[in-house]
Amino acid sequence: MAIWTEANPFLDPPAGENSFSRITHNVTRVAEAEKPPKAWFIALGISSTMLAIFGISIAYVFWNGIGSWGNMHPVMWGFPIVNFVFWIGIGHAGTLISAILFLLRQTWRTAINRFAEAMTIFAVMCAGIFPGIHVGRPWLPYWMFPIPNQMSMWPQFRSPLEWDIFAVGTYFTVSLMFWFMGMIPDLATLRDRATSTPRRLIYGILAMGWRGSSRQWHRYERAYLILAALATPLVLSVHSVVSFDFATSQLPGWHTTIFPPYFVAGAIFGGFAMVLTLAVPARQFFGLKRLIAIRHLELMNKILIATGLMVGYAYGMEFFISWYSGSPYEGFAFVNRAFGPYAWAYWTMVTCNVLIPQLHWFKEVRTNPWATLAIGIAVNVGMWFERFVIICTSQSRDFLPSSWGYFIPTPFDYMTLCGSFGLFFTLFLLFCRYLPMVAMAEVKAAHPDAHAAHAQAHAAVTEAARA
């Protein structure tokens, strides 16, 4: 950790209480620092290299045909759709934390909601790329949009892929609005503290004329509430709709009614794991330990156990139903998952998603940031494999044994997968550097100091009554 020993403004946050000014200082100094820490540059170097690999792999695939990936017959979908569902799943935690926990008045969410939302946006961006690039003629996916045209071509609305377009599109739009609107007061803070004209100008535009007046706060709170109410069903709907891609198909292993809740639970599970994966290093490296406290990590770990158990239940229930249905094809699909040629993927999934999170039953584990990080990464791996198992294993062996096959990814598959992480981390690092990583205004609102006057008034009333 040599890079941290030199003078680093992020390493030693000012001691003392989390007063309002301290909060502002702690958060804004990241964006206002002259130079970000070296680790940031190293991380950005790695992630942008990965991003370049993403670009190269996609360009090659575009040029040569999507056969450059390992997609084959019968595994027609392969990695791109696995990645799509994986990233969409990741994109769940942000809005869940922001919207549902907001409606449930879980104020601890304020520590993590901002970058969880950012994570959502970036994950959905990564996800959105895949349906576009995985098609055979990647210059034409806009045909899936209902754009009036002289050829009278129109999308086919019975297709779940078409539903995806709208589900993901709506989710992305609402999430972006929610994220951006929530950021306005903080952007105004950055604007007000800006010392250079370009910063003033850019943050000024982004702050959209925020003055902090009571009327603005009032409108802001209302709008936030409305967006939260709008976003809440979306959290549940978007992954349900994505699961329809599979659930409404006939393929054994896909044709399952449990998919919508199972996918949502899995998405929250994976999303929280990703938030933890990002939060632990961020609080460490940007000195946000007081804002993102161990208590917050612990609460999220508890959600991880809960959703992990739901996912585990779904795995078990799928097996039960496949036997209970009496359909030989369904039954085989699941036996094949667990014991067929792709058993390694299945057991990786079970280990990472069901077994490893159980460690969080121990308080020492769930309050240890590094254990949290390790388990978070394991869950991310497990969730990627869950999608791999659902898509590739099911497709590889369907009804007619004559069409069975074994999917083997090519280097381009790995390049595209790793490249999508490059895009995600590049965007995330840029966010950390240039935007308020923690929702200052909301943290302050949830801070005990915010209620000091209120508490004093209460005390006065009580005292008067007593008198």
Partner 1 sequence: MKSQKSSYWRSLAELENSAEFRELLEREFAAPPENVRLDSPERRRFMQLMGASLALAGVTSCRWQKDKLLPFSQQPENMVPGEPRFFATSMELGGSANGLLVTSYDGRPIKVEGNPEHPSSGGAANLFHQASLLSLYDPDRSESVVQRSGGARQVSSWDAFEALVKERTAALRANGGKGLRVLAEPSSSPSLADMRRRLLAAFPSAQWIEFSTEGDNQQAGSLLAFGSPYRSHPTLGNANVVLSLDCDLVGPTHPFGVANARGLVKGRTPDSGNMNRLYAVESTLTLTGSIADHRLPLRSELVKAFAAALDAEVSAKVLPPAELGPAQAKPQANFLKDPKVFKFLAVLASDLAENRGASAILAGAHQPPEVHALAHRMNAVLSNIGRTVLYRPELNRTPDRELESLKRLTEEMRAGAVDTLLIIGANPALTAPADLDFASALGKVSASIALGEYEDETARLCNWHLPLAHYLESWGDARAHDGTLSLIQPLILPLHGGRSALEVLALFAGDNRREGLDIVRRTHAALLGSDRAWNKAVHDGFAAGTTPPRFFPTLKPLSALQFSARELGDSNVSNGALELVFLPDSKVYDGRFANNSWLQELADPLSKQSWGNAARMSPKTAAELRVGEGDLVQLTLAGRSLELPAIFTPGQAEGTVAVSLGYGRHAAGHVGGLDEAGVEPVGANAYALRTIEAFHIAPSLSVARVGGHQDIATTQDLYAIDPVGKIGSEGRLSELVREATLEEFKKEPHFAREAPREPLLSLWSDPVSYQGHRWGMSIDLNRCIGCNACVVACVSENNIPVVGKANVIKGREMFWLRVDRYFKGPPEEPQVSFQPIPCQQCENAPCEQVCPVGATMHSHEGLNDMVYNRCIGTRYCSSNCPYKVRRFNYFNYHLDKVGVTPFNVVTDRKKLIQHMAFNPEVTVRARGVMEKCTFCVQRIEKTKIKAKNARRSIQDGEIKTACQQTCPTDAIVFGDLSDSASQVARLQALPRAYALLEELNNRPRVRYLARVRNPHPELA
- Number of residues in contact with partner 1, rule: CB under 8 A? 55
In the list 18, 49, 106, 159, the residue contacting partner 1 (rule: CB under 8 A) is: 159
Q: Rounded CA gap, 416 and 129, in Å?
A: 11
Q: Rounded CA gap, 253 and 458, in Å?
A: 59
Q: Nearest-5° angle of CA 117, CA 123, CA 126? A: 150
Task: Determine the interface stretch with partner 1 among 137-145, 171-179, 256-264, 285-293 (rule: CB under 8 A).
Answer: 137-145
198 vs 326 by CB, closer to partner 1:
326
Closest CA to 188 of 175, 200, 197: 200
In the list 173, 403, 456, 462, the residue contacting partner 1 (rule: CB under 8 A) is: 403
In the list 49, 106, 107, 249, the residue contacting partner 1 (rule: CB under 8 A) is: 249
CB of 238 to partner 1, least distance (A): 17
User: Quick check: 170 binds partner 1 (CB under 8 A)?
Assistant: no
Q: What is the DSSP letter of 353?
A: I
User: Quick check: 143 binds partner 1 (CB under 8 A)?
Assistant: yes
In the list 33, 46, 56, 66, the residue contacting partner 1 (rule: CB under 8 A) is: 66
Residue 450: count other Cβ atoms within 10 Å of its Cβ. Answer: 13
> What part of residues 115-134 is at the interface with partner 1 (CB under 8 A)?
131, 134
User: Quick check: 158 binds partner 1 (CB under 8 A)?
Assistant: yes
Half-sphere exposure of 282 (CA within 13 A, CB side): 29
User: Quick check: 1 binds partner 1 (CB under 8 A)?
Assistant: no
52 vs 153 by CB, closer to partner 1:
153
User: Quick check: 212 binds partner 1 (CB under 8 A)?
Assistant: no
Task: Determine the interface stretch with partner 1 among 122-130, 139-147, 191-199, 416-424 (rule: CB under 8 A).
Answer: 139-147
Task: Determine the interface stretch with partner 1 among 18-26, 94-102, 155-163, 212-220 (rule: CB under 8 A).
Answer: 155-163
Task: Determine the interface stretch with partner 1 among 115-123, 211-219, 344-352, 396-404 (rule: CB under 8 A).
Answer: 396-404
Task: Determine the interface stretch with partner 1 among 246-254, 298-306, 357-365, 370-378 (rule: CB under 8 A).
Answer: 246-254
User: Assign residue 14 a region: left if phi > 0, alpha if psi is -120 to 50, beta otherwise?
Assistant: beta
Sign of the C-alpha dihedral, residues 295, 298, 304, 310? negative
In the list 74, 357, 376, 422, the residue contacting partner 1 (rule: CB under 8 A) is: 74
Closest CA to 70 of 389, 341, 417, 413: 413
> What part of residues 406-425 is at the interface with partner 1 (CB under 8 A)?
408
104 vs 147 by CB, closer to partner 1:
147
- Are the C-beta atoms of 375 and 353 separated by less than 8 Å? no
Closest CA to 261 of 269, 253, 250, 249: 269
CB of 331 to partner 1, least distance (A): 9
Cβ burial of 215 (10 Å; 0-12, 13-18, 19+) is exposed
SS3 at position 311? helix
- Are the C-beta atoms of 307 and 269 separated by less than 8 Å? yes
Residue length, the chain?
A: 467
Please provide the distance, in angstroms rounded to a whole number, between the alpha carbons at the two ends of the chain. Answer: 60
In the list 399, 414, 445, 447, the residue contacting partner 1 (rule: CB under 8 A) is: 399
Cβ burial of 207 (10 Å; 0-12, 13-18, 19+) is buried
User: Quick check: 147 binds partner 1 (CB under 8 A)?
Assistant: no
User: Quick check: 450 binds partner 1 (CB under 8 A)?
Assistant: no
C-alpha to C-alpha distances, 247 to 165, 241, 262, nearest whole angstrom: 17, 9, 11
- Are the C-beta atoms of 186 and 26 separated by less than 8 Å? no
User: Quick check: 155 binds partner 1 (CB under 8 A)?
Assistant: yes
CB of 239 to partner 1, least distance (A): 18
Q: Nearest-5° angle of CA 25, CA 30, CA 33? A: 95
CB of 414 to partner 1, least distance (A): 16
Using CB under 8 A as the criterion, which residues of the chain lie in contact with partner 1 when the complex forms?
64-67, 70-74, 76-77, 131, 134-138, 140-141, 143-144, 153-156, 158-162, 165, 245, 248-251, 328-329, 332, 335-336, 339-341, 395, 397-405, 408
